[in-house]
Structure 1
Amino acid sequence: MKLRVRGNSLRLRLSRSEVETFDQVGRVEEAVRFGPGAQLVYAIERATDGALSARLEGSLVTVSIPAGLADSWCRTDQVGLEADQPTGDGQTLRILIEKDFTCLKTRSGEDESDAFPNPHDHC
């Protein structure tokens, strides 16, 4: 799972196997390790209700996806989910969850064997 943070936006991209795991188990989690005892953990989880949302607890970022949205996204060709979450200070956090596609140009060191086929490959 890839995490991209830019300004007030949070984007997670999941590979095919991660989407399958999320569909079956209801949670996928990754960690960035900065050293002994120091890590940033990010996860997506299926929620029973509510809206697509994100929360930060200590060094854990969790994005919750309502079950209906999660099921539809995992089981169809739907590329992504998005939401704007008020932050309580007059700003919003943009949340995007996407299926990870292969790049149109090969990049050295990038393993894309588990990525979704890029729909633009067939133009």
Structure 2
Amino acid sequence: MKLRLLDNSIRLRLNKVDLDTLYNDGEVWTVSQLGKTTFSYGVRSVEQGEMSVEMEDNRLQFRLNVDQIKEWHSSNKVGYSSVQENEDGSSLKLLIEKDFKCLTDRDEDESNNFENPNSTC
């Protein structure tokens, strides 16, 4: 699972194993150790509602509707996006998507990534 933060936007990319875990277990998490602090981020399924995110106790949690997860897991759908309003009136852009293999070689294990739809005509 990969996390990207840019200004008021958060993008989360899941590989095949991550999406399978989310589909089968209802949640998927990863942990990063930052010095003495543990930071975790992931996705949890919810029965109803729009995609949203919250941060509490060094834990960034995306919430995605169980029906969206079922559709996402069984289709070629790339992902979901949403805009979440913050308490101060600003907006937070959310994007959760499948992690595709890069079209150029990189020194990174991409064996669990989805095939890039742009790799074939």
Give the TM-score taking structure 2 as reference length. 0.96
Other-structure match for 2:33: 33
Q: Which amino acid is the alignment partner of residue 44 of structure 1?
A: V
Other-structure match for 1:52: 51
Alignment of 1:86 onto 2:80: no
In the TM superposition, what is the alpha-carbon distance from 1:113 to its structure 2 partner? Answer: 0.5
- Separation in 2 of the partners of 1:78 and 1:103? 18
Q: Which amino acid is the alignment partner of residue 120 of structure 1?
A: N
- Separation in 1 of the partners of 2:100 and 2:57? 31
Q: Deviations over 1:38-81 (max 9, x none)?
A: 11110101001111000011200000001111111111110011
RMSD: 0.9
1:1-123 matches, cutoff 5 A: 1-36=1-36, 38-108=37-107, 110-123=108-121
Q: Which amino acid is the alignment partner of residue 75 of structure 1?
A: S
- Separation in 2 of the partners of 1:70 and 1:52? 11
- Separation in 2 of the partners of 1:96 and 1:14? 11
In the TM superposition, what is the alpha-carbon distance from 1:90 to its structure 2 partner? Answer: 1.9
Q: Which amino acid is the alignment partner of residue 32 of structure 1?
A: S
Stretches (4+) displaced over 4 A: none
- Segments of structure 1 that go 5 or more residues without pairing to the other structure are none
Q: Which amino acid is the alignment partner of residue 83 of structure 1?
A: S
Give the TM-score taking structure 1 as reference length. 0.94
Tell me the percent identity.
Answer: 35
Aligned residues between the structures: 121
Q: Which amino acid is the alignment partner of residue 87 of structure 2?
A: G
